[in-house]
Chains A and B, each alone.
Chain A
Amino acid sequence: MFLRILGKSILKRKSRIAIAVVSVLIGASVATALLTVSLDVSEKVSLEFRKYGANLLIVPHSDTIEVGFPGVEFGSVTEQRYINESDIWKIKAIYWRNNVMGFAPFLYQVVTARSDQAEQRIVLAGTYFNRTIHIQSPYAPQDPTTFTTGVQIISPWWHIKGDWIHDQNDTSSCMVGAAVAEKLNLSVGDTISVTYTEQYGSTANTSAYNFTVVGIIMTDGYEDNQIFVNLQVAQEISQRPGKLHTIQVSALCNACPVETFADEIKELIPYVDGRSVKQLVNAEMDILGKIQNMMFLVTIVALIASALGVMTTMITSVIERQKEIGLMKSVGAENRKIISLFLSEATIIGVIGGIIGYLVGLILAQLIGLSVFSLSITPRFEIIPIAIGISVGVALLASILPVRRAVSVEPAIVLRGE
């Protein structure tokens, strides 16, 4: 009987219910749209940030002495340490492995570079450009056992004149920074001579190599002052086979700080430290935080407006139905029956408004994504219960005053004829 009363009461007042549903729908669609955009854009903005380079630097652990001023350290007091290249696969075997977008090892050496026209002492960096590594012991059995990574993956924003070094076994090619190219007057296709002198007590061992410049790197950063070669070439020049100075890691994770990755990596490679690239991480967190705060505020405002719409509609409905409520009470309806009737109506309004609001919200999300962020937004089905839950919550909250008013209707009203 309750369902009959509820169903017919709703059908009888279709237009009134429709207005309430539209009110809920507006709030639900804004909440859905902004939640979808917020979640999706967070990931995509993070992904965009990843294009601007690594956000985590792995270095060998070194002991330091504090000199008395907070934050000022004396520097390494132990011998120069290296990371073993044979451990590099472990970065892709941590718990958050799927969020490691890429990494690139670096071994640096100061060398003398000579072209036909000039000579300069320059930092030579050996790295992976685009190399497939073997993951010796994956974190989970179903994980892939290979991973393609390198500086080309983690720094796609580098402007290259010429080409990258594609062959990971290429020992005769190099890429030079724009500043190096300018100082040594180099162009793509030119040859450069590199010499490195290792001092052993009173004796010196000098080795010389010739490279063909295949690409000129323009980053407006320190890379402009370096020469890049395949890692094994740098290891051979500096006679440090299998050794690395640093690993730059590009980690993507909205749910965890980048320090989490550092801790995870340290567990597998205990002799390293992880240092987040604070400037990049802070900028990223700052922008994402601002986007989310703005969306949260807009959602709250939309939901308040929505609740006010539902409340106004339901109060009007209660006023219109005063005699009906009085009659129900006069024939024996207790207050809880009246309350359950109105709250059930509110729940139905919330569910319908939530479902339609979700669908409208998806369209809205696409419009926001395309017009504001120039990104296509991926629909998220996990938001459906959230949208319905928020809508029902808003409808029920908005019903508190109307229900109080309905409960206060006196049954005598039906006899008074007011």
Chain B
Amino acid sequence: MDESIIRLQAIKKYYDESTHVLEDLNLIIHKGAWTSIMGPSGSGKTTLLNIIGCLDSATAGTVFINGTEITKLNQTQLTRFRRENIGLIFQQYHLVPYLTALENVMLAQYYHGVIDEGKAIEALKKVGLEHRLDHIPSHLSGGEQQRVCIARALINEPKILLADEPTGNLDQKNGEIVLDLIKQLHAEGHTIILVTHNPEIAKLGQRIITVIDGKICSDSTCTSEINET
């Protein structure tokens, strides 16, 4: 039985003739796995994350997520698919500056079509922010903002969590709090894909993929083959 939740086949991403970001990239990620993606800046790891997160489209190739070929979906269908299946955790947190912590979480509920304030409060309790519900982002520390971002990513119960350098802007203590939360989410069965420059954080995953020049390199060996855990 195929337990893959994400399958990328011969993915290419060109911005123009001379800018080839991803080259014939193949990747399978299994349900419930924690995959860390590493690579130097400009290697294409964020573009890879964007394509998996339905935020960007591939120039060529096919992408299956949870059994759906997302490369065939139009923009509106992609938006719906994303909000139902994928949670996003950003390095810059990206909270709406004029909404409170609670409202930022409820924003994802609103776009999902189901607003449940109690559930949003629960999500913030889960990340330890029950005392910060009515604070706007500028009144929260970086770690607290990232936890709001995690609560927002979780609120619609997505199967896949994509994290782009989630601890990149945090001090060690707050970084550990955030990583503990991600570990907890993984333990609960979420599929985690985490982009990081930090090898120690990458090692928390069951699998480490290194992307260089738009190709997947693993164990110092560049390859275009399908990698399986």
Contacts and interface: CB of A to CB of B under 8 A. Distances in A.
Contacts of B106: 1
B55 A415 contact: yes
Given A335-B75, A415-B164, A2 B92 contact: no
A415 B110 contact: no
B111 A331 contact: yes
Contacts of A337: 111
A321 to B, nearest CB: 10
Interface stretch (A5-13, A148-156, A179-187, A214-222): A5-13
Interface in A244-274: none
A323 interface: yes
A112 to B, nearest CB: 95
B103 interface: yes
Contacts of A335: 75-76
A408 to B, nearest CB: 11
B90 A331 contact: no
Interface string B70-81: 000001100110
Nearest to B55: A412
A40 to B, nearest CB: 45
B146 to A, nearest CB: 14
Interface in A5-30: 5, 8-9, 11-12
B173 to A, nearest CB: 24
Nearest to A4: B103
B98 A12 contact: yes
A48 interface: no
A410 B111 contact: no
A331 B55 contact: no
- Grouping DSSP codes into helix (H, G, I), strand (E, B) and loop, the A interface class, with mixed when no group exceeds half, is helix
Contacts of B88: 330-331, 414-415
A123 B211 CA distance: 113
Interface string B42-76: 00001001100101100000000000000000011
Nearest to B46: A415
A161 B107 CA distance: 84
A163 B50 CA distance: 96
B98 A8 contact: yes
Most buried by B among A1, A2, A331: A331
Interface in B75-121: 75-76, 79-80, 82-83, 88, 90-92, 94-99, 103, 106-112, 115
B96 A327 contact: yes
B152 interface: yes
Nearest to A8: B98
Contacts of A2: 110
Contacts of A8: 98-99, 103
B55 A1 contact: no
Contact of B83 (A4, A331, A412): A331
A410 to B, nearest CB: 7
B99 A414 contact: no
B106 to A, nearest CB: 6
Contacts, number: 83
Contacts of A5: 96, 99, 103, 107, 110
A333 interface: yes
A412 B88 CA distance: 11
A340 to B, nearest CB: 12
Contacts of B96: 5, 324, 327-328
Contact of B90 (A332, A333, A410, A414): A414
A63 interface: no
A411 B55 contact: yes
Nearest to A333: B111
Nearest to A2: B110
A17 to B, nearest CB: 13
Contacts of A12: 97-98
A1 B107 contact: yes
Given A5-B107, A8-B99, A329 B46 contact: no
A334 interface: yes
A334 B79 CA distance: 6
Given A331-B108, A335-B75, A415 B53 contact: yes
Contacts of B95: 327
A415 B50 contact: yes
A416 B88 CA distance: 13
Contacts of B76: 334-335
A417 interface: yes
24 contacts: A4-B103, A5-B96, A8-B98, A8-B99, A324-B96, A327-B96, A328-B111, A330-B55, A332-B83, A332-B108, A332-B111, A332-B112, A332-B156, A333-B111, A334-B111, A412-B55, A412-B56, A414-B94, A415-B46, A415-B50, A415-B88, A415-B164, A416-B50, A417-B91
Given A1-B107, A414-B94, 15 more contacts: A1-B103, A4-B103, A5-B96, A5-B110, A9-B98, A12-B97, A323-B94, A327-B96, A332-B112, A335-B76, A337-B111, A411-B55, A414-B55, A414-B92, A415-B88
Please give me the 10 A-B residue pairs with the lowest Cβ-Cβ distance, nearest first. Answer: A332-B83, A332-B111, A12-B98, A412-B55, A1-B110, A8-B98, A412-B56, A331-B108, A327-B94, A412-B50
